[in-house]
Chain A
Amino acid sequence: MNKQESPLLFLIVGRNEPLYSSEFISNQKPTSDSITRQHYFVMHSALDLVDKFAFTYPQMYLKTVDKVNHQMVSVFLTASHVKFMVLHSGKGDDVLKQFFMEVYELYVKLSMNPFYQFDTHITSKDFDDRVRVLGMRYLL
């Protein structure tokens, strides 16, 4: 059983709760590799580690903060402590960094919208579409 094709989960987490989530599944047939509750649990438990690295690591991109079985959690922390987290299995650091930088640009543009309040759910369809395009490009 080749467990290479694991699904990718991308979360944007604010101060208290997730603000946005999207899943990227590489193979078209939905097999047992769908996003399960366990994936969310792994992400949640990684939050503590993010806080641990937040004040010691000087860069915004925190690389991989946690490893569970074959899955890794990589995190990008913005200046306002909004966390972009990706659950993946073995993607390269550079690829992830580029993905995070582009999502960060989209996020900044979104936050300039006067109708978007900081730390609220991201409901913009435009943002969602663009993040999916980026995900397809970089993560699959």
Chain B
Amino acid sequence: MSKSSITASGHTLWSKMPKANTELFALTYGSLITELLKDYDNDIEEINNQLERIGHSIGIRCIDELLAKSEVNGIDIGPCSNLENTAEVVAKIGFRCFLGMTCDVANVTEKSFSLFLYENPLSIFVELPETTNGDDDDRHQSFNSDGKENSGGGPDWSKLKYSNVYCGVIRGALEQINMKVECDFVRDVLRGHDVNEIKVELKEIMSDGAGQDYHEE
């Protein structure tokens, strides 16, 4: 599929999808984050992992919906010939039709690509709190062997990957079509960078078919 037809397909599919209120969506996701913070006691690493897992569950269903919806609307996505093609479909059709987001592909190599997200609907009201160190209180800091934590202070908010759910969605969706990938949020507007960047690395193309048990003798 050519680049312009991919973009056009993305727009068509977006117009066919049922819409939800952006604010409701953003606020619901925000309250999910605060609940996770309460449940996991402000353990930022664990929360990032949970968000990725949640995204994974969403992603494995999204891919089917995407392919089905495009079939129904007469858009032929067709098998992607190379990684760049896959990246374009994820960015221009996937993100477009589910979230209405404009997304660009960059830095395409044989085994990885980057996605640039410009406006992120999940984080429209969000401002990450300041990381407090606990230094301004008395100097009775606990000596942690783990160098990552602030000694005696609050959680390190700059480590929170607020929209990590996207990484999980991409991983889940591509897993269903036999591509094993790892995704990571490299740059985040909430942490002060100018764009959101997700780096996707292809680990392996899995072989098709059921497991070892079902192979015929």
Interface assignment of A113: CB less than 8 Å from any CB of chain B = yes
| A112 CB–B CB distance under 8 Å | yes
The count of chain A contact residues (Cβ–Cβ below 8 Å) is 8
Q: How far in angstroms is the closest Cβ of chain B from A47?
A: 28
Contacting residues of chain A (113-132) with chain B, CB-CB under 8 angstroms? 113-115, 123-124, 126
**Distance in Å: Cβ of B120 to nearest Cβ of chain A:** 14
**Is A113 within 8 A of B126, CB to CB?**
yes
Asked if A3 CB lies within 8 Å of chain B CBs, one says: no
Q: Is the CB of B130 within 8 A of A115?
A: no
- Minimum CB–CB distance for B36 against chain A, Å: 11
Q: Which residues of B contact A123 (CB under 8 A)?
A: 129-130
B137 within 8 Å of A (CB atoms): no
Q: Which of A109, A114, A123 has the most CB of B within 10 A?
A: A114
| Interface assignment of B152: CB less than 8 Å from any CB of chain A | no
Cα–Cα, bound, A32→B30 (Å):
46
Is B21 an interface position by the 8 A CB rule?
no
- Whether B129 lies near A112 (C-beta < 8 A) is no
| Chain A residue at smallest Cβ distance from B28 | A114
B58 within 8 A of A: no
Bound complex: CA A113 to CA B162 (Å): 12
Q: How far is the CB of A76 from chain B (nearest CB, A)?
A: 22
The answer, among A112, A115, A126, for a CB contact under 8 Å with B27, is A112
- How far, in whole Å, are A115 and B190 apart by their CA atoms in the complex? 13
Q: Does B128 contact A (CB under 8 A)?
A: yes
CA distance A114 to B163 in the complex (A): 13
User: Can you name 26 A-B residue pairings with CB atoms under 8 Å?
Assistant: A109-B125, A112-B23, A112-B26, A112-B27, A112-B30, A112-B125, A113-B30, A113-B125, A113-B126, A113-B127, A114-B27, A114-B30, A114-B31, A114-B33, A114-B34, A114-B125, A114-B126, A115-B34, A115-B126, A115-B127, A115-B128, A115-B129, A123-B129, A123-B130, A124-B127, A126-B127
> Residues of A with Cβ closer than 8 Å to B?
109, 112-115, 123-124, 126
B-side interface residues toward A, CB under 8 Å? Answer: 23, 26-27, 30-31, 33-34, 125-130
